[in-house]
């Protein structure tokens, strides 16, 4: 059994209309969710296949970090799918710096975040003080490296070139590339 805390404003998304999302997660991940809507604490208990159940807490965390339930459930698509969370706050000096860093990661009109998704095939959200990614190991690593470059002050053009090079490298090696469509 594991406990996950999610923000108050994401509890409704986790539960879904009439409990529909919660039931779908419980059914597909073979877990039981006990949601305390007052505190945001979610108890995740494995009830079926232990390997599927291992993904349950990450599905809840992903929804808590701003992913739609559909995107969060992609974690069940195959064993290699993973959730990665970058703490933007840790790379920021103060509140104003956090806002600036988030703005750099999102980009004008959301362009930087969109390019991270398009060029890696991963799902990417920026919510609160985190950047979260769902994808395979190479996709997640590429997004994390690009985010760290941006947080360290690299020009956006340099980061976009890095992402394009990484995409071409993965295609050249014959690695499966699953574009994210969302």
Model pLDDT for residues 110-142, shown as the tens digit of each residue:
999 999 999 999 999 999 999 999 999 999 999
- Phi, psi for 4 (deg, rounded to 5): -130, 135
CA distance 13 to 67: 9
Per-residue model confidence as pLDDT tens digits over 160-170 = 999 999 999 87
pLDDT digits (tens, 9 = 90+) for 15-24: 999 999 999 9
Q: Across all residues in the chain, what is the average pLDDT?
A: 93
CA atoms in the 13 A half-sphere facing the CB of 175? 18
The CB-side HSE value for 23 (13 A sphere, CA atoms) comes to 5
Residue-range domains of the chain with CATH: 2-67 (3.30.1370.10), 82-172 (3.30.1370.10)
Q: Between residues 175 and 53, which one has the greater pLDDT?
A: 53
The predicted pLDDT at position 24 comes to 97
pLDDT-derived band at 174 (thresholds 50, 70, 90) equals low
The predicted-structure confidence for 75-93, as pLDDT tens digits, reads as follows: 999 889 999 999 999 999 9
């Amino acid at each position: 059994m594991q406990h996950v805390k999610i923000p108050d404003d994401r509890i409704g998304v986790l539960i879904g209309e009439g409990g529909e999302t919660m039931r779908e997660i419980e059914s597909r991940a073979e877990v039981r969710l006990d949601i305390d809507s007052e505190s945001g604490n979610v108890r995740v208990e494995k009830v079926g296949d232990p390997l599927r159940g291992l993904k349950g807490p990450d599905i809840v965390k992903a929804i808590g970090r701003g992913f739609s339930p559909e995107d969060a459930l992609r974690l069940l698509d195959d064993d290699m799918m993973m959730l990665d969370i970058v703490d933007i706050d840790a790379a920021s000096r103060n509140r104003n710096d956090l806002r600036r860093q988030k703005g750099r990661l999102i980009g004008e009109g959301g362009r930087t975040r969109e390019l991270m998704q398009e060029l890696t095939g991963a799902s990417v959200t920026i919510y609160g003080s985190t950047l979260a990614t769902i994808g395979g190991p190479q996709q997640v690593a590429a997004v994390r490296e690009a985010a760290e470059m941006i947080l360290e002050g690299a020009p956006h053009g340099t980061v976009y070139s890095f992402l394009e090079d990484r995409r071409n490298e993965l295609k050249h090696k014959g690695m499966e590339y699953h574009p994210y469509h969302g």
